[in-house]
Structure 1
Amino acid sequence: MADDKRTVGALSGIVVADFGRILAAPYLTMLLADLGAEVIKVERASVGDDTRGWGPPFVAGQATYFQSVNRNKTSVALDLRSAEGQRYARELVRRADIVVENFRPGTMAKFGLSYEQARGLNPGVIYCSLSAFGAGKGAELPGYDLLIQAAGGLMSITGDGEPTKTGVAVVDVLAGLHAAVGVLAALRHREVTGEGQLVEVNLLSSLLAGMVNQSTAYALAGVVPTALGNRHPSIAPYEVFPTADRPLAVAVGSDGQFVTLCRAIGAEQLVDDPRFTDNTARVAHVEVLAAELGAILTTKPAAEWETLLTPLGVPCGPVNDMAGAFALADRLGLQPRIPSETGLPPLVANPITLSRNPVRYASAPPTLGSGTDRILAWLDEA
C-alpha cells in the first residue's frame, strides 16, 4: 500500500504497524522507515504520542522531541478502547509485515492485539515488543529511561561524585537499536522459512549489554565499577584535561601513542618512568600521570594541542557543544542534517550509508491523524 514517495529502499514493500510511543519504539520504526518500509503510526485520537507535548523547544507547532524520531511515517488516529478502533487495528495487523509496540506488558492483549492474537490474524507476522523490565516478573514495573539508568547501574559509573544520568535517553536508543537488529533478523528468517516470530527487547537488558566492558568486568571478574568522571577504568591517559582556554579530550589507546604524546609536548621524562612504561602501569598511577600531563597541557590553548598532536596520530580534540559538534561534522563532509533539497526540515540525518539502497527522506514528521482517512480507506478495501 505504498504511495509514490515510498517505492525505494532496502525495505521497500514492508508494512509496519507501529503502536509505539515515546522513544525506543519510534526510534526503531523510524530506522525501518528510513530504509524504505511503510510505517503506519497508530496514535491516540485525542492527544497522540506523548512526545508531541514534550517541549520546549517547539518548531512549527511540533515538539522537536517528537520530530527527532518520527519522520517518514503516516499518522493514524485510533481509539483502541473502542470496538471500531480495535477493528481497524486488527485489520492493520492482518496486513502488516511487522508489528511494533511498547505498552506495558499485557496492555495490547486488552485491545485484542497481543502476539498470540496477532499471529492468529497473520501467521507470518513479525511482532516486536519492547518493555522496560521484560514481560516476566518485571512486567508490572513502570519504566522510563531515567529509571533504567538508575536501576541498571549506568548512573553509578557516570559523572564524578553524585550519580549522574547521561545527557540523552541513551537506554531507549540502545533498546531501539537492539530491536532493529532483532526485527531484521526475523525478516531474514521469514524470507527463508515463511515463519513469523516474536521479538522481545527490554531496556534493562539492553543497558546491561550496552555497558560492554563495565558490565562484563562484573559478570566475569566480580568487579563493581565506580564513577571515574571522564577517566577510563582500563586505559590511561584517557580523559579530559584543562588547557589554557578550554577542556581537551586525550584518548591514548596504545603504548606507542603515549610515547608520541610525551615527546610532542616536551615530557620525554615520562617515557622511561617505570610508573608509565605500559598501560597497566599507567592505570595504576593515573593520578600522578594526570597531574604531570595536566601541568603541561594548561600552558597552551586546546586548538594548538589539537593541531600539534592530531597529525602525529594522537587522538585528541576539544570538548564541543552541540553547535561545535555539527560544525565539525559539516567540515568533515558528513552531512549531519537532512539535505535541503528533500523539502523536509533540517532534521538529523540517518548515519547509515548504503551504496545500493540509500536511506530516503520522504516525509516530515506527521501531524496527528493526518493519514487517518487514507489508511482507513485502504483498510476498508476488500
Structure 2
Amino acid sequence: MDIINENSIVDLKFHLKWKSREAVHSDCYNGTGMNMWRDWMPEKLRNSLIGRSPGDQINMTFSSGEFLDDFSNKKHFKIKSRQFNQETDNNSIIKPQKGRFYPKGLLQGVTGIFKANKEPFRCVDINNGFIDVDFNKPLAGYNLELKASIGNVKEKISDKGGESIDWVSLLTTGPGMQARWQKSSTDFFSDSPFMRQDETPDNIFYQKPRFVHHLDDKAREMVRNIHALSLKDDMKILDLMSSWVTHLPENIRPKKVSGLGMNEAELKKNPDLDDYIVHDLNLDPVLPYDSESFDAVICTGSIEYLIHPFEVFKEAARVLRPQGRFIVTFSNRWFPPKAVRIWEQLHEFERMGLAAEYFLGIEDFENLHTYSIRGLPRPVSDKYFSQLFYSDPVYGVWAHKKG
C-alpha cells in the first residue's frame, strides 16, 4: 500500500463547506497529481496528509484567515464612478450593479490594476458618484470546513523544475461569489435582465426535437448524485422543463414522475416519465398541476431560459408538499439565443447566486443550499475529449418548501 510522504504525487477530492447568512454552501474540486514537495498548500493540510493511504479521509476546520487571507478593511474602499470603464473591448456596455462581481481590469486609476486583470472584485454599493468596492477574496471572512478524500498515491520519478500549483487558489477561485454581500440582496434585476438574443416564440425554437445530451457522462452522473441527496422511493416527482432524459438516481423507485416540457417528441421518448404535458412557461408560468401534489420538483440545465423565474418558483412552491424540495442544477453550457441576458453576463459561481435569489425572493422556501463540483476528468468516450480535459462543471441550488 502506498503511503504519502514528502516525495509523493497524490490525487485528492476536496469538499469545502461553509455557511453564509442565507445558505449552506458546498464546493468540491477534484485535484489530480498534487506534488507534496513542490505544490503550495496550507501546512496544516500537508502535515495531515503525511503517512496517509489511498481511501483515507481527512476532516479539518479553518477559522477565518487561516486557510486564505482574512477579510481586510484596506481592500474595501471607494472609487469614483468614472473609474469604472463601462465600455468593453467588444463595444458592449457594462453598468455596475450592487453586489455583483466584475473583472478588476475594468477599473482605471487604481494602483496595481492593469487592463488584462481578470480577477473579480465586488461592487458593494453605488452612491453619489462613488462606487464602494471590495477587493477581498470572495471567501474572506468565512470559517471553512475541509474534507479531503485520498485517491491514488505514487512516488514522483524526479523533480526537474516545472510550475508549482497553488491548490488553495484552485479550490477557492469562484466559491464565495454565490453569497450575498452581508445582508444585502444582489442586484441581478436592473437593466432588462430577462431579454434574449432571440425573442421569437419559444414553441418555434423548440419545435424540432433534439435527442442529444447537453452534458458529458460524468457531469450527468454528478447531477444524479445531487438528486440522490433528496429523491427517495415512492415520491411523486415533477421534472420541470423536461426533455427526453430525466436525471434520476438509478437506485430509486418513484411512485410517479411527471414531465413538463416544450417538445412532445422528446417527452414521449423519455422512459422515466409516467405522464407529460407540453407547456411553455415563458408564455404561461402557471403550472397545470394541483397544489401540494409533488414531493420534489427538479429542473436540470434549464433555468437560464426562464423570463418569469419568480412566478415559476412561486408555482413550484405551490405544487410542492410542505418540506418538499425544489432542486435546480446547471452547468456552463446552454443555447445562447434563448438564454436570458443576465445569465450570460455572470461568472459561473454568480449564477448560483442568481438561482438563490429566485428562491429567496418569493419567501416560500427555507434551508437553502448551493453546491458545485469541478475538476473531474472528461470521459474518454466523450466527443470533446480531445479538446477539453475536464468534465463539465456542475452547479446545484435547492431548498425546502416551508411548512
Q: TM-score, normalised by structure 2?
A: 0.24
Rg comparison, structure with higher value: 1
Could you say which structure has the higher helix fraction?
1
Could you say which structure has the higher strand fraction?
2
